[in-house]
């Protein structure tokens, strides 16, 4: 069972506007979602069997807390905690609704406390076994110290320059579980860049990172962008496109279209930023590839486009990174051909082939291989398995909780106050 959302809201006021997620919650029939629900409950049962009954204080405070990708993570954490049967009090300034129907199906008691972004917040006067925070924040460290609890901190979204640096130091070696494995964007923001904005060494001051004076206490552990597959359900779909050029960052479109032409791919779609559409169109025309081009789509429309696609092509240009556009297709069983970069190598596997930038023959061979495999079976089972093994949000959260709860370093309460 669960208790309803509550907060410090006078009756009749609208302090917590939400983005309604009804299309995520209601559009899929229960029989489509049931396999994923059973998986979540198996993972939660394993966590409960290892750790026993627990009480959890959860925090999710973030300046831009209205993004769908954050909803996938936060809903995933609430669902996992509810499935463990643990008592959870979850404080959030999220501006979206949660999947109440899903939480109501589960045994745990999850109480969601809503806050406005600028609310002052003090941790409850209660004992908890763990404080779980989806974002690094001083309030979580203070709450763990006050409760004598383990601190389990995630970074499920990148850090931003206008966030104040942390000052509350956790115990040395405290894990920071981040969803950007290999991401220089994340580590630069966390630890700070060596020089100023123009990156010139001549007397430029050191730019502090968001971890501030606490940075030496954290030990970073990453995952290549886990996906909440409960909201990526597997449905029967007839492919419309043989290939989709996917990703919002810089792309080597000439190599991609040359390879698609060489592989004799007939039906191609591309997602491109508005300012790039003409360049994409001209590149496709140069290589004689007919291509339907569209601007970036809503998440719902993107999932539907991926369902209509056999192979995803992601010719990312260094040093840009593209974890989201690599992991999300795998969740739907769509294999990917991507540029071989340091940030893409952790994704290489049976569902992701990497090819050198500019090597048209290697790209063409990889695309042709996946087209042959998907002609036999859709969705692509190796991609699905890779997505489940390496990009599963339930496993990511459960593994982090288990590792932190059983670690040998002391709870935050045993640290002196800074």
Q: What are 284-322's pLDDT values in tens digits?
A: 999 999 999 998 888 778 889 999 999 999 999 988 777
**How many CA atoms, within 13 angstroms, populate the side-chain half-sphere of residue 4?**
1
Judge whether residue 53 has pLDDT over 90.
yes
Q: Is residue 23 part of a domain?
A: yes
Q: Which residue has the higher pLDDT, 18 or 289?
A: 289
Confidence band for 205, pLDDT divided at 50, 70 and 90: low
Query: Is residue 15 predicted with pLDDT exceeding 60?
Result: no
Q: Is 48 part of a structural domain of the chain?
A: yes
Q: Rounded to whole angstroms, how far apart are CA atoms 333 and 331?
A: 6
Secondary structure element (H or E) that encloses residue 241, with its range: strand 241-245
Query: Is residue 224 helix, strand or coil?
Result: coil
Same structural domain, 171 and 294: no
Residues spanned by the domain of 12: 6-226+393-414
Q: Is residue 239 within a helix (H) or strand (E), and if so which, with residue range?
A: none
pLDDT score, position 28: 76
Are 269 and 324 in the same domain?
A: yes
Share of residues in the chain with pLDDT > 90 (%): 55
In this predicted structure, what is the pLDDT of residue 180? 79
Model's pTM, two decimal places? 0.87
Mean pLDDT on 337-362: 94
* One domain, residues 255 and 330: yes
The answer on 209 and 195 residing in a single domain is yes
| 1 in a structural domain | no
* Domain assignment present for 231: no
- Residue 378 CB neighbours (<10 A): 17
Could you tell me the pLDDT band of residue 27, with boundaries at 50, 70 and 90?
low
181 preceded by cis ω (within 30°)? no
Tell whether omega for the bond before 379 is within 30 degrees of 0, i.e. cis: yes
Number of domains in the chain: 2
How would you write 331-344 as a 3-class SS string? HCCCCEEEECCCCC
138 lies in the same domain as 266:
no
Predicted local distance difference test score (pLDDT) of residue 157: 87
Mean pLDDT of 380-406: 93
pLDDT in tens, 117-127: 778 898 888 89
Taking the chain, what is the end-to-end CA distance rounded to the nearest angstrom? 40
Cis check: omega of the bond before 319, within 30 degrees of 0: yes
> Does 127 lie in the same domain as 91?
yes
**209 and 347 both lie in a single domain:** no
My answer on whether 102 and 129 are in the same domain is yes
Predicted pLDDT of residue 405: 92
Each residue's pLDDT tens digit, 245-284: 997 678 899 999 999 999 999 899 999 888 889 999 999 9
Do residues 178 and 97 both lie within one domain?
Answer: yes
Same domain as 163, residue 243: no
Here the CATH number for the domain that contains residue 364 is 3.40.50.2000
51 and 155 part of one domain: yes
Looking at the predicted structure, is the pLDDT value of residue 160 above 50? Answer: yes
Residue 268: inside a domain: yes
pLDDT of 396: 93
For the chain, the average pLDDT equals 86
Helix H or strand E segment including 174: strand 174-178
Same domain, 217 and 243: no
For the ranges 241-245, 250-254, 389-393, the maximum mean pLDDT occurs at: 241-245
Interval 392-412 mean pLDDT: 84
pLDDT at residue 179, as a whole number: 87
* Cα 349 to Cα 362: distance, rounded to the nearest angstrom: 16
Lowest mean pLDDT among 39-43, 142-146, 181-185, 329-333: 181-185
């Amino acid at each position: 069972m669960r208790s309803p959302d509550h907060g410090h809201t006078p009756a009749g006021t609208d302090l917590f506007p939400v983005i309604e997620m009804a299309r995520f919650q209601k559009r899929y029939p229960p029989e489509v979602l049931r396999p994923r629900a059973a998986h979540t409950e198996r993972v939660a049962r394993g966590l409960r069997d290892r750790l026993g009954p627990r009480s959890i204080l959860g925090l999710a405070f973030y300046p831009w807390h209205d993004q769908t990708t954050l909803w996938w993570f936060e809903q995933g954490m609430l669902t996992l905690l509810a499935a463990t049967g643990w008592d959870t009090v979850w404080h959030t300034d999220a501006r979206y609704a949660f999947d109440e129907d899903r939480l109501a199906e589960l045994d745990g008691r999850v109480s969601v406390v809503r806050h406005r972004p600028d609310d002052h917040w003090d941790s409850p006067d209660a004992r908890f076994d763990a404080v779980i925070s989806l974002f690094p924040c001083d309030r979580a460290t203070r709450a763990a110290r006050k409760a004598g609890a383990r601190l389990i901190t995630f970074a499920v979204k990148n850090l931003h320059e206008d966030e104040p640096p942390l000052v509350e130091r956790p115990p040395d070696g405290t894990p920071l579980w981040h969803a950007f494995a290999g991401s220089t964007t994340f580590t630069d923001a966390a630890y700070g860049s060596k020089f100023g904005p123009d990156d010139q060494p001549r007397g430029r001051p050191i730019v502090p990172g968001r971890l501030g004076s606490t940075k030496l206490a954290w030990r970073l552990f990453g995952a290549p962008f886990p996906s909440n597959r409960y909201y990526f359900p597997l449905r029967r779909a007839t492919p419309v496109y043989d290939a989709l050029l996917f990703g919002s960052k810089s792309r080597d479109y000439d190599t991609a279209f040359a390879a698609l032409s060489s592989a004799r791919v007939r039906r191609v779609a591309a997602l491109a930023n508005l300012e790039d559409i003409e360049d994409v169109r001209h590149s496709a025309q140069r290589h004689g590839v007919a291509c339907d081009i569209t601007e970036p789509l809503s998440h719902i429309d993107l999932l539907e486009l991926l369902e209509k696609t056999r192979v995803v092509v992601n010719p990312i240009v260094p040093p840009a990174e593209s974890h989201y556009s690599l992991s999300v297709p795998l969740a739907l069983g769509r294999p990917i051909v991507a540029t071989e970069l340091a940030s893409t190598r952790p994704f290489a596997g049976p569902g992701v082939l990497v090819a050198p930038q500019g090597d048209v023959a290697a790209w063409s061979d990889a695309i042709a291989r996946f087209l042959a495999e998907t002609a036999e079976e859709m969705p692509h089972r190796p991609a699905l398995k890779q997505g489940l093994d390496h990009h599963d949000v339930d496993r990511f959260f459960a593994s982090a909780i288990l590792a932190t709860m059983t670690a040998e370093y002391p709870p935050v309460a045993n640290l002196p106050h800074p």
